Structure 1
């Protein structure tokens, strides 16, 4: 039986988690302040994606910075593009 290869059984490494959609990230993270009149409205403002990335990673003023463990680079890039292209949500503009 020479030539048989032993197969080692070890822990199964799960794949990286599936990235969340920009809509889910906004609803669960950004919208908590930006959609509730706590922070400035950001949807419908055509904010440059590079600025969104900078704001999210550095946390200007009272906004907290979000680490890669909280919003991955892939998710942040998608969120920045989505926000740049988004239309204003009338509910966020109500006073």
Structure 2
């Protein structure tokens, strides 16, 4: 049993499950002060990047994932990825972040 708990993927999933309620409760607090997202990069930095840039979720940038796939996974969830309802991110902002991710270059290698 302890070898299962030592698995880094299990730890990341567990951390994501613990963090999810806090993220959902924060609601539009992640949007800028006026409660409006400022484009795809803004959404990515304030929401997606919190997991996908810190080894909790898989790297998304540089993979040229199709925007419709990204929006479907974001709306419906997949495995440890939570579903983001329209009450948190509207369809237009979701499309903008999907377009941003699908075209973003791979992140620079960390030393």
What's the TM-score once normalised by structure 1's chain length? 0.74
Which stretches in structure 2 are left out of the alignment for 5+ residues? Answer: 1-34
Q: 2:105 aligned to 78, 87, 92, which one? A: 87
Q: Which has the higher helix share?
A: 2
Report the equivalent of 2:19.
none
Hey, what's the Cα distance between the residues in 1 that align with 2:103 and 2:81?
22
Q: Is the 8 A contact 2:44 2:97 kept in 1?
A: yes
1:52 aligned partner: 70
**Segments of 4+ in structure 1 off by > 3 A?**
none
Aligned length: 78
The DSSP-based 3-state class of the residue aligned with 1:24 is: helix
Q: Which has the higher contact order (CA 8 A, sep 6+)?
A: 1
Q: Is the 8 A contact 1:47 1:83 kept in 2?
A: yes
Q: CA RMSD in A?
A: 1.9
Greater C-alpha Rg: 1
Structure 1 residue ranges without an equivalent (≥5): 1-16
